[in-house]
Amino acid sequence: MGVIKVALPPDDKNLFQMAYGYFVTISSGMFKTWSIFWKQITKQEKSNTLEWPEQPATYSDRFKGKHFLTKREDGQIRCTACFLCATACPAQCIHIEAGEHPTNEIEKFPVRFEIDILRCVFCGFCEEACPVDAIRLGPEYVMAGGAGEKWVYTKDYLADRSELNGGIVSVKVENTKHYTVDTDLHGDNLLATDAPHMHH
Amino acid sequence: MSQETVTFSINEKEITVPKGTTVMEAAKKNDVYIPHFCWHPGLPIAGVCRFCMVKVDGRPKMEIACNLQATPGMKVFTETPEVKDTHKWALEFHLVNHPLDCPICDQAGECRLQDYYMEVGKYKSQMERPKVLKPKALPIGDDLVLDTERCILCDRCVRFEEKITKTGALGIFNRGDRAVVGTYPDKKIHHNYQTNLVDICPVGAFTSKDFRFKQRVWFLKDKPSVCPGCSTGCSVDVYAKPEVRSYFRVKPRESDVNGHWMCDVGRKTYRHMNQEERLRSGIVTGADGFRTRSRFDEAASVLAAKLLEADTNDIALLVSPQYTCEEYNAFFSFFVGKLGVKKVFQWREPTEKIETFDGILYRGDHNPNTRGLADALKKHGLPSDVKNGFDDLARSGAKLVIALVPEIGFQYPSLNAQISKLEELSFVSLWTINGTVFSHKGIAHAIPMKGYAEKKGTFVNFEGKVRELAHAFPAGSDDARDVVEVVAVLSEVLSHSN
Amino acid sequence: MTQEKPKILLKFEGMPNGRALKTYMAHSGYEALKKAFAMSKEDVINEVKASGLRGRGGAGFPTGLKWSFVPKDMPGPKYLICNNDESEPGTFKDRHLCSVSPHMVIEGMIIAGFAIGANKGYIYTRYEFQEEIGQVEAAIKEAYEAGLLGKNILGSGFDFDLDHYTGAGAYICGEETGLISSLEGKKGQPKLKPPFPAVSGYLARPTIVNNTETLANVPHIILNGAKEFRKYGSEKSPGTKLFSISGALGKPGVYEVPLGYSWNRFLNEEAGGLLPGLSLKALIPGGASAPLLTPKECEDLTLDYECMAAKGTMLGSGAIMVIDNRQSMVELLRCTIEFFAHESCGQCTPCREGTGWLNNIMVGINDREVGADSVDRLHLVSKQMGGRTICALSDACAMPVMSYVQKFSDELKAHLAKG
């Protein structure tokens, strides 16, 4: 069994001296408090306190809040359904179903992309794992809700909710197919070109 | 007669191999790792990827291990800095024009380029110029999508088409870094072995339409099993995501029966085990005549009660050759040995042509265990010749029929018609995994079965080889049982009643 | 070392009606064949071995040794192929030779066929040589009519059929296994060795592929003996050789000189020297695939295999290209790389991707789109392309690139700095 030693007041200081120090620090602190209180109540100084939720509070863009899916410049969703976010997610809250895109420009895209926000721990790993800057954690922090809320964010909600004002465009280099698929291997574009077909 | 042997050394370790063995084969047998793309044990040597370079003592140039025959006293080195540097550069050359498609490429996770990059690469690429572009996502066959940009032109697919299927459908067109693999003009690949091209492709140039974008491979778990698609009994690996009870694909596993290949029909033998297609619960009919889904225990006790009531002569068994030997033994021991049932019929597809064979792997007998069933029937003193027993069953006047329904429904084009025939009988208990039986209103009773990937046991293939289903996934539904388990429960219930 | 200028291969050059069989016969034509028929097969091979004749196609492999690789007791057909697919940039000696004396080549082929036991021969000519194709075919017809080809030649009991075949114009079909693939009707790309063609070549049968000039040397060796052949040239490079020289010269063309001939003499006497006002900037001694030499390195140059090897280049097919001071090395290197990138068959990865990559970088250098480190990258990449592929095309591209970068890197970098 260990013995817990409690530090005793030093012998050379009596109780009065210790109480004196206490009162001096407390009263100087309270002086600061009351002087700021006075300045703010007389509007000499701006108050930092917000009357939330009537007054809106915005966080830094780097705040890791509610997720959103970015878009390409043409308005298509940027996600290529590579599942890397789902793989990295420690809470396993991302559910993706991939599909073949109807147009030739994009090969693979998420038919379903869902985040179970109740399981999410806001670690930001999905953001880091994403090779195409398709998912980000945004500055929105208001996520409280009642029993009837939708706690699974769908693809449409993640990309197109009204707060995003039509979606966030990421300017990263497009990772789409290089050109429209030419199903003819023997077409002129291949056999007739002597020099390699270059793409910038 | 003893075979002539050659003794040489790899990394100063003495190795003795039969004469004519290549360094690559010898290294593989002795667990020495030599990276390679174009070499495949089931195909002729091409020697074009130039990746398997090794250093042979006394020779000025590096040699490719795949085409280097071991000679006595040869000293081969695979791990010197010089060799490693060569491998690194060989990889760099492969990656020069390889697109960064990994996020959308199905091969990611089982791609040799990725693997080798982690093993011998991990360098900063010297390539800073635009890459050569080629056609992508070409629908080149019934189950194939070709991406010529990802292709590293290892020639494996061309050799497969030439030597294995002998269709010669693929060729490499154009030259230099404009070279593309493809079919001849206006031709596509139509044969029963095309998905093998996806397997042998070391990168993601060939992807399977069936598996395309379904799942990332690193989420999948594989277990060795045996293909139930025909009487060849190819060794396979079944890939599934057990936590969501979904099966995704079947791939061949090397064995002396199937070599490295399997047919495309066999690759479809995972779908019936998925939730949307399988019978997940039992079917029982209440006293009021209404059919309901039931748990296994209830379905089993209803059947046990019926068996107790019935006269042995009124019971008939209808057995399909798609179950394991162990299941047949348990089944016949109980019904024939213990209950004394005499009427046993075989459930066969009337349109089948048993003796046909495509010359590669696929046989006309679309059942994995015809031989095993015959052996079990013989063992229990029953007629064992292959015969469709439906007509005999109808004539037998049986009032209680227990039917082991074929597991692979798509191999039985007449399956629904046959089940409809059974509906006319007074009481039929179908033991099946096939979800469509629920739509047959006349079927009063059903017990959900496990799929072949969910049970252990053995098949006996066309040539009498025992094929072992060595590992099993957990059952895809809580109520699914194999025949052995059902019989054990019935036997238990009946023994308490007596 | 003798500096005489004998005319052996080009004996009929300039002779009126020199191509005709009649003229050839009048100058002891097909005498060597008669002599060979009187010898045993081994003796013919030994005579060629003793002559020290080296393959004139570029690699300089001893011809007699090559012939001796053919398995003697193997039943079934064997083949002899004359490689007349001369496509190395700068080379035009075989074209000239088969135009001047096609019968010398045919006689050489019959003797070679007799020595290795082949009853079927092919002359594989480059598609672009339309005029020469007609001349060779006419000579074959003449020889058949004179009973010099076909069954029981000159009563010897030896049968030899000769066919003419035209390629589709690919550089790679000049490589012996590439030529064999092309002759088999396949895509012209080299085959994996081993097995070597001498054991399993055309239609998987023993096959010998020899250069046109090599075969044309054979009648002379057999008729006059190895000793006579060795009268010219050096110990290791005996005999005479055709050189095709091009550039801003007084008399560019094809010349026959003994191996070991002095370069300066060749330039000034045979080729007529550089045009007035020009100076030598670089010399490509053996076709586009040979590393180039600086004027300083050319000072004591002799035209033989050993001296070239000592200077880090090669004699190749004897295609000498003289680069004068007006030429841009950037443009020259770009053309060279583009040629090899275009002609790579695309089979082996280091060559397929390497030549393309070099071309890609070189386009960037030419268009001034890349940094100065790209010049060093040319060297780095080509260093990794050598000796790693089935055939030598990869080396043929890499070696000159390395020499350009080593010797003219300042000019390449200056070109980039201009932009």
Domains and CATH numbers, chain A: 67-164 (3.30.70.3270)
One-letter amino acid identity for B20? G
CA distance C82 to C202: 13
* Beta carbons of B361 and B195 less than 8 angstroms apart: no
pLDDT digits (tens, 9 = 90+) for B363-378: 999 999 999 999 999 9
pLDDT digits (tens, 9 = 90+) for C191-213: 998 999 999 999 999 999 999 99
pLDDT at C169 over 50: yes
CA distance C180 to C187: 10
In a mutagenesis test of the B interface, which of C353, C384, C385 is the best target, namely the one with the most B β-carbons within 10 Å? C353
* Chain A residues whose beta carbon lies within 8 Å of the beta carbon of residue B183: 185
Q: Do B94 and C389 touch (CB under 8 A)?
A: no
Which of C379, C376, C375 shows the shortest CA–CA distance to C415?
C375
Which of B300, B281, B297 shows the shortest CA–CA distance to B429?
B300
| Min Cα separation B359/chain C (Å) | 26
Beta-carbon contacts of residue A144 (< 8 Å; ≥ 6 apart): none
* Chain A residues whose beta carbon lies within 8 Å of the beta carbon of residue C364: none
Candidate from C192, C356, C363 with C-beta closest to B177: C356
Q: Which residues pair with B292 in a beta bridge?
A: B284
Query: Domains of chain C by range and CATH?
Result: 21-229 (3.40.50.11540), 240-324 (3.10.20.600), 329-418 (1.20.1440.230)
The reported pLDDT for the residue numbered A198 is 34
Q: Which residues pair with B63 in a beta bridge?
A: B54
Which of C232, C231, C221 shows the shortest CA–CA distance to C64?
C221
Say how many C-beta atoms besides its own lie within 10 A of residue C203's C-beta.
12
In a mutagenesis test of the A interface, which of B100, B105, B146, B213 is the best target, namely the one with the most A β-carbons within 10 Å? B213
Q: Which residues pair with B198 in a beta bridge?
A: none
The reported pLDDT for the residue numbered A189 is 40
pLDDT digits (tens, 9 = 90+) for C325-358: 999 999 999 999 999 999 999 999 999 999 999 9
Mean pLDDT of the C81-105 span: 94
Q: Do C359 and A196 touch (CB under 8 A)?
A: yes
Cβ of residue A173 closer than 8 Å to a chain C Cβ: no
For residue B359, the 8-state DSSP code is S
pLDDT at C12 over 80: yes
* Chain B residues whose beta carbon lies within 8 Å of the beta carbon of residue C364: 129
* Chain C residues whose beta carbon lies within 8 Å of the beta carbon of residue B179: 346, 352
**pLDDT 10s digit of each residue in chain A, 200 long?**
566 666 666 666 677 777 888 899 999 999 999 999 999 889 898 888 888 888 888 888 788 999 999 998 888 899 999 999 999 999 999 999 999 988 767 889 999 999 999 999 999 999 999 988 899 998 888 888 888 778 999 999 999 988 888 888 887 654 444 333 344 455 444 333 333 333 33
Beta-carbon contacts of residue B257 (< 8 Å; ≥ 6 apart): B232, B233, B234, B235, B461, B465, B467
* Beta carbons of C310 and C237 less than 8 angstroms apart: no
Burial (Cβ within 10 Å: 0-12, 13-18, ≥19) of residue C193? middle
The reported pLDDT for the residue numbered C153 is 95
One-letter amino acid identity for C287? G
Strand order through the sheet with B63-64: B13-18, B5-10, B75-77, B53-56, B63-64
Dihedral angle of Cα A128, A129, A133, A136, to the nearest 10 degrees: -50
Say how many C-beta atoms besides its own lie within 10 A of residue C2's C-beta.
12
Candidate from B46, B126, B176 with C-beta closest to C352: B176
Closest residue of C to B61, CA-based? C387
Please give the angle made by the CA atoms of C276, C279 and C280, to the nearest 5 degrees: 130
Q: Do β-strands B315-319 and B400-404 pair in parallel, antiparallel, or remain unpaired?
A: parallel
A178, containing H or E segment: none
The reported pLDDT for the residue numbered A8 is 64
pLDDT at C417 over 80: yes
Helices (H) and strands (E) in chain C, counts: 16, 10
pLDDT at C1 over 60: no
Q: Which residues pair with C254 in a beta bridge?
A: C244
* Beta carbons of C119 and C159 less than 8 angstroms apart: yes
CA distance B367 to B377: 16
**SS3 state of residue B431:** strand
pLDDT digits (tens, 9 = 90+) for C280-325: 999 999 999 999 999 999 999 999 999 999 999 999 999 999 999 9
Q: Do A196 and C342 touch (CB under 8 A)?
A: no
* Chain C residues whose beta carbon lies within 8 Å of the beta carbon of residue A198: 360
Q: Do A100 and B212 touch (CB under 8 A)?
A: yes
Beta-carbon contacts of residue A132 (< 8 Å; ≥ 6 apart): A78, A79, A80, A82, A170, A172, A175, B103
Which of B451, B484, B448 shows the shortest CA–CA distance to B281?
B448
CA distance B10 to C315: 38
pLDDT at B403 over 50: yes
| Min Cα separation A194/chain C (Å) | 7
Q: How far is CA B238 from CA B253, B266, B434, in A?
A: 10, 11, 19
Q: Which chains touch A (3 or more CB pairs under 8 A)?
A: B, C
| Min Cα separation C359/chain A (Å) | 9
Closest residue of C to B126, CA-based? C377
Burial (Cβ within 10 Å: 0-12, 13-18, ≥19) of residue B394? middle
* Chain A residues whose beta carbon lies within 8 Å of the beta carbon of residue B132: 196-198
Instruction: Please give the structure tokens belonging to residue B14.
Output: 């003495």
Candidate from B92, B129, B178 with C-beta closest to C360: B129
Average pLDDT over chain B, rounded to whole?
93
Which of B345, B354, B352 shows the shortest CA–CA distance to B404?
B345
Count chain A–chain C contacts defined by CB atoms under 8 A. Answer: 9
Q: How far is CA C399 from CA A9, C275, C290, C402, C403, in A?
A: 88, 29, 7, 5, 6
The reported pLDDT for the residue numbered A9 is 61
Candidate from C353, C384, C387 with C-beta closest to B97: C353
What's the pTM value of the predicted model, to 2 decimals?
0.90
CA distance C125 to C213: 13
Instruction: Please give the structure tokens belonging to residue C318.
Output: 């004897």
CA distance B208 to B205: 10
pLDDT digits (tens, 9 = 90+) for B262-300: 999 999 999 999 999 999 999 999 888 899 999 999 999
- To the nearest whole percent, how much of chain C has pLDDT over 90? 93
* Chain A residues whose beta carbon lies within 8 Å of the beta carbon of residue C337: none
For residue C277, the 8-state DSSP code is T
Instruction: Please give the structure tokens belonging to residue B48.
Output: 């074009």
The reported pLDDT for the residue numbered A146 is 84
For residue C54, the 8-state DSSP code is B
One-letter amino acid identity for B267? R
pLDDT digits (tens, 9 = 90+) for C28-80: 999 999 999 999 999 999 999 999 999 998 888 999 999 999 998 889 999 99
Which of B148, B194, B161, B176 shows the shortest CA–CA distance to B44?
B161
Average pLDDT over chain C, rounded to whole?
94
Q: Which residues of B374-388 are buried (b: 16+ CB within 10 A; e: fewer)?
A: bbbbebbebebeeeb
Candidate from B132, B176, B180 with C-beta closest to A185: B180
Dihedral angle of Cα A72, A75, A79, A80, to the nearest 10 degrees: -90
Please give the angle made by the CA atoms of B338, B344 and B349, to the nearest 5 degrees: 145
One-letter amino acid identity for C419? G
Instruction: Please give the structure tokens belonging to residue A98.
Output: 């991939």
Q: Do A132 and B103 touch (CB under 8 A)?
A: yes
The reported pLDDT for the residue numbered C329 is 95
Q: Do C355 and B176 touch (CB under 8 A)?
A: yes
Beta-carbon contacts of residue B99 (< 8 Å; ≥ 6 apart): A178, B131, B149, B150
The reported pLDDT for the residue numbered A196 is 35
CA distance C416 to C370: 8
CA quadruple C349, C355, C360, C365: dihedral positive or negative? positive
Q: Which residues of A177-196 are buried (b: 16+ CB within 10 A; e: fewer)?
A: bbeebeeebeeeebeeeeeb
CA distance C263 to C320: 10
Choice between A148 and B180, residue whose per-residue pLDDT is larger? B180
Tokens 């074209």, located at residue: C95
Q: Do C356 and B94 touch (CB under 8 A)?
A: no
* Chain C residues whose beta carbon lies within 8 Å of the beta carbon of residue A196: 341, 356, 359-360
* Beta carbons of A87 and A131 less than 8 angstroms apart: no
CA distance C171 to B116: 34
| Min Cα separation B156/chain C (Å) | 12
Beta-carbon contacts of residue C241 (< 8 Å; ≥ 6 apart): C56, C213, C233, C256, C257, C258, C259, C303, C315, C318
Q: Do B137 and A181 touch (CB under 8 A)?
A: yes
* Chain C residues whose beta carbon lies within 8 Å of the beta carbon of residue A194: 342
Which residues of A have a CB under 8 Å from any CB of B?
Answer: 80-84, 87, 98-100, 104, 107-108, 131-132, 175, 177-179, 181-186, 190-191, 193, 196-200
Q: Do β-strands B235-241 and A67-69 pair in parallel, antiparallel, or remain unpaired?
A: unpaired
Query: Domains of chain B by range and CATH?
Result: 5-95 (3.10.20.740), 127-216 (3.30.70.20), 282-497 (3.40.50.740)
Burial (Cβ within 10 Å: 0-12, 13-18, ≥19) of residue B417? exposed
Cβ of residue B130 closer than 8 Å to a chain C Cβ: yes
For B438, phi then psi, to 5°, come to: -65, -30
One-letter amino acid identity for A47? S
Range with the poorest average pLDDT among A140-154, B171-185, B466-480, C243-257:
A140-154
Helices (H) and strands (E) in chain A, counts: 5, 5
In a mutagenesis test of the B interface, which of A80, A96, A130, A177 is the best target, namely the one with the most B β-carbons within 10 Å? A177
* Chain B residues whose beta carbon lies within 8 Å of the beta carbon of residue A186: 173, 182, 185
For B145, phi then psi, to 5°, come to: -120, 130
Candidate from B62, B127, B172 with C-beta closest to C388: B62
Which of B11, B65, B7 shows the shortest CA–CA distance to B36?
B65
